[in-house]
Amino acid sequence: GSREMIIEGNMGEGEVTRDALHILGIKNVRVKIRNQMPLSQGFGMSASSTLAATLATCHLLSLPYERALEAAHVAEVRMGGGLGDAIASFYGGLEMRLAPGLKGRIKVVEERARILVAVVGEPIKTRGIIENGEMVERINEEGREAMKSFLKEPTFDNLALLSREFAISTGIADERMKRILRKGERIGSIGMCMLGNAVFAEYSKEMRRFLSGFQHYECFIDNGGARILASLFP
Provide the whole-model pTM.
0.88
Backbone angles phi, psi at 153, to 5 degrees: -140, 80
Q: How far apart are CA 99 and CA 105, in angstroms?
A: 5
SS3 at position 69: helix
Model confidence pLDDT, tens digit, residues 4-36: 778 887 777 789 999 999 999 998 888 999 988
2, pLDDT greater than 70: no
Residues 6+ apart with CB under 8 A from 111: 93, 94, 155, 156, 221, 223
Nearest to 226 by CA among 61, 88, 109: 88
**In angstroms, what CA-CA distances link 164 with 81, 113, 118, 161, 218?**
22, 18, 15, 5, 20
Domains and CATH numbers, the chain: 6-97 (no CATH), 110-220 (3.30.70.890)
Of 36-40, 102-106, 165-169, which has the strongest mean pLDDT? 165-169
153, pLDDT greater than 90: yes
What's the chain's average pLDDT?
91
Q: Residue 3: its pLDDT value, please?
A: 56
User: Are the C-beta atoms of 232 and 224 separated by less than 8 Å?
Assistant: no
